[in-house]
Amino acid sequence: MIVIPHNHNPALAELTMTASQDLQLQIEGDIAIVRLNRAAKRNALSDGLVLAVRHAFENLPSTVRAAVLDGAGEHFCAGLDLSELKERDAGAGLQHSRMWHAALEEVQYGPVPVVAALHGAVVGGGLELAAACHIRVADATTFYALPEGTRGIFVGGGGAVRIPRLIGAARMADMMLTGRVYQAEEGERAGFAQYLVPAGQALERALEIAKRVAQNAPLTNYALMHALPRIAEQPADQGFLTEALMSAIAQSAPEAKQRVRDFLEGRAAKVKA
């Protein structure tokens, strides 16, 4: 295990140093495994841990082509560290939420696709973090909840934007209004995860998927991470134009030409049913 180095910003450095034991970065070939490592507190996201997540994704080695995000212990993540939830005025609350946004943007719009390996509790800010990843693999122990509603607060880590895009605003409102918990199978049907695997197999499957993703042309992965979600937000006529621009750029790369040649000359795999 390599523990991430502290940040160059002294204020952030202090927090990330405190949290550096709580986040581990392991590099296996071209895959980075980023692990929330605070099992005693169910990987609750302290401010320092949120900043450490940001730092880790901002500073991935350039050799990394895909990442896996998982959590140590019985649960992926219990959300915001409630012990830090103190009286904040509106301005401080705004800045706190924006700090989460900046960190989770680094996961979503960072350098490489991120596969979340989920198990146990994926709740509150833990679900917000999972929603910032590009692919979610859940094992049979996974459950999803947004206890913010029952704690008298609201989501603040981008969940109001990202979670409705996975499961729809009506389901999210129901979860927050009623405290409803989705178990793994129902959760996969609702759209929380794209893959459902037996208990204890999420990390292994996530790694397999990350290795597969890492083989894509970097420009294709870039287009899927950075262009696709924006195109999906654009009015259709603008989306069509952005798609055409991205498509033209991707197909012009020498690697794309080579891959197409490989198929036409029988060297590349066919699509298998």
Q: Which residues of this protein are in contact with ligand 1HE, per CB under 6 A?
A: 41-42, 44, 74-75, 78-83, 100, 121, 123-125, 147-148, 151, 153, 155-157
* Active-site annotation holder among 84, 87, 105, 148: 148
Least distance CB 59 / ligand 1HE (angstroms)? 22
- The nearer residue to ligand 1HE, 64 or 78, going by C-beta atoms, is 78
CB 231 within 8 A of CB 241: no
- Which one, of 53, 88, 85, lies nearest residue 67 by Cα? 53
- The nearer residue to ligand 1HE, 74 or 255, going by C-beta atoms, is 74
* Active-site annotation holder among 58, 106, 128, 265: 128
Least distance CB 269 / ligand 1HE (angstroms)? 42
Is 204 a residue of the active site? no
Q: Which residues 6+ apart lie within 8 Å of 39 measured at CB?
A: 71, 72, 73, 74, 75
Whole-angstrom CA distances from 66 to 41, 50, 105 are 28, 20, 16
Which residue number is nearest to ligand 1HE in terms of Cβ? 124
| Distance between CA atoms of residues 145 and 162, nearest Å | 15
Is 148 a residue of the active site? yes
- The nearer residue to ligand 1HE, 50 or 223, going by C-beta atoms, is 50
CB 192 within 8 A of CB 143: no
- Which one, of 103, 130, 112, lies nearest residue 191 by Cα? 130
Least distance CB 42 / ligand 1HE (angstroms)? 4
Task: Look up residue 215 and give its amino acid.
Answer: Q
Least distance CB 46 / ligand 1HE (angstroms)? 8
- Just list the catalytic residues: 128, 148
